[in-house]
Structure 1
Amino acid sequence: MTRFATLTRSLIAATALMAPLALPASADTFPERDVTIVLPFPPGGGTDQVMRVIAAEASQQMGHQLIVENRPGAGGSIAAMYVKNAEADGYTLFFGNASTHAINPYLMNITYDPVADFAPVTEIMLFPHVLVVPGDSEIQTLDDLLAAAAGRPGGLSFATQGLGSGGQLLGEQLRLATGANMVAVPFQGGGPALLETSTGRVDFMFSGYGPTRSFVNDGTLRVIAVTGSERLPFLPDVPSLGELGYPQVNKEFWFAVFAPAGTPEDVVTTLSGIFAQAVATPAVQEVLDANAATARVGDPAALADLVARDLAEMEVLTREAGIAAN
């Protein structure tokens, strides 16, 4: 046997041994090692707390760790780009949200495509928003608020937590839906916006319920409506904007899991099932309740539809409300 023939046979044998390592991940064996989920937020917040409990439950199911990695900054773009550029094998995931996948594309100069660069896995949760007024305000209902907007020469002011925030988008949806005389007052974050509303220097605002809870409990803020079509289980006496005749005031702030585009479909399906089972556990339900969040899981197709629908709605809202990047 010539030296060349011997070398050729050795290379063929080596390639055959290495071939299984080059195959994409398969749902039959996935996962074979730890999985990392990247969050676009710093540690310690409510979203981080929820995902860490989900990760603990998912790790038990997988037999491998689901590692939570925080990469905050640039409105979520740092984390999104990191996952976009990761191997499409299911081992690096992104905990995206309505901002990273539907709002920021219209308000920021992002360098990723929320549709083309990611494979939807499953929605996880959403944070219902509430419409609050100062605790000593004469406004008791949505009708009162609209009457006040019509009756005061300057109309009403509503606080926002900044560009692209729930306070801004829902406030503009309400203004457009009702035609009421309302003007946005932007603040640098939710804390200052809530404080100024609670003292009466601003007339009302929309906020996630979690941050308002202490103000509501001490009587400095009052909830007069909740977003969506149904009442919230922890606020059963507060009407929804849907039942009050304004179903279009419904911008949702959801959180969901995404993989890099090109991740094998069977791996995505496996991941979707793992997260669904984890979210259904009592431990996760407890931390969701503590953070005033609502569980909502679904298959990858449902999440893809959600992203597409939100992008279309944001295109209309930003145009009609005149919302643009600073």
Structure 2
Amino acid sequence: MTLFSRDDLNAAAALVHEVVPPTPSFAWPLLARRIGATVVVKHENHTPTGAFKVRGGLVYMDSLRRAGKLPKGVVTATRGNHGQSVALAASRFGIPAVLVVPEGNSPEKNAAMEALGGELVIAGRDFDESRVRAAEIERERGYHYIPSFHADLVRGVATCALELFTAQSDLDALYVPIGMGSGVCAAITARDLLGLKTEIIGVVAENAPAVALSFEAGKPVPTATARTFADGLACRDPQPEALAIIVEGAARILRVTEAEIAEAMRLYYTATHNMAEGAGAAALAALIQERDRQKGRRIGVILSGGNVDMPVFARVLAGETPQA
């Protein structure tokens, strides 16, 4: 399934790079020593919002503008990184953005969204309940609802994979965290457009296994809960369009425990002195699981974001595993 063309991707890169410089991809020696393979980290924690999502919001909003459909306002549901992307993009076009987050959401991500000009609404026990309130606000205010998965969002996020594959075209495999699916679908699509053979391995939290269950079943399999401290992985209702791309293009989906995610966060800090949020460390956690399988190969991991609350990170560095 092809969501866009190579020309579309190149145009998205030109747009994104007006705001987001290409992020680095480094092969870290201490990670190589731990894994027994060359480990190339794509540092999406180095974007202006500290996460990869910023790319998607810029392209999505520009697509509305080009179609002459720029709305009077936008609304979306988010755990934080998508919301920052939407708030930043909306501010560039001078329109308001309402960001609906669940109860108990990250205080630091909430503050970041508001600092970018977003109006924060707290509603629902989890992300999926927040989506219900966002849809209500769409109707009440006549705003445009921005979903968590859309071809234009994926096209923006795919500029990350384009940068990585252009700089590192000889990767044997790439590990990508999965929330609602834009990151892994972007990686699959960019790989295919570039004609590469890199294996794409998706990563979910063991406590939020809906995408893994759906991959195994070949159809969406919702779960009742998605309780992981890696909030960017907390999906319990996979979207069919994203799942179709994942089933067709991913080699496999791995599940990582909360303790494995925390271990990977610590390793990122000790080996690279970079902060990773839970979802940002999930790809490395999965690679640690498969280090025997990947020994001697050249492997990429997406560090999708570094927006972790200070108390959570302090507990991780102290050797603890935070609870959702």
- The TM-score bracket by the shorter chain reads under 0.3
Q: TM-score, normalised by structure 1?
A: 0.26
Question: By percentage of residues, which structure has more strand?
Answer: 1
> RCO greater where, 1 or 2, for CA within 8 Å and sep 6 or more?
1
Larger Rg over CA atoms: 1
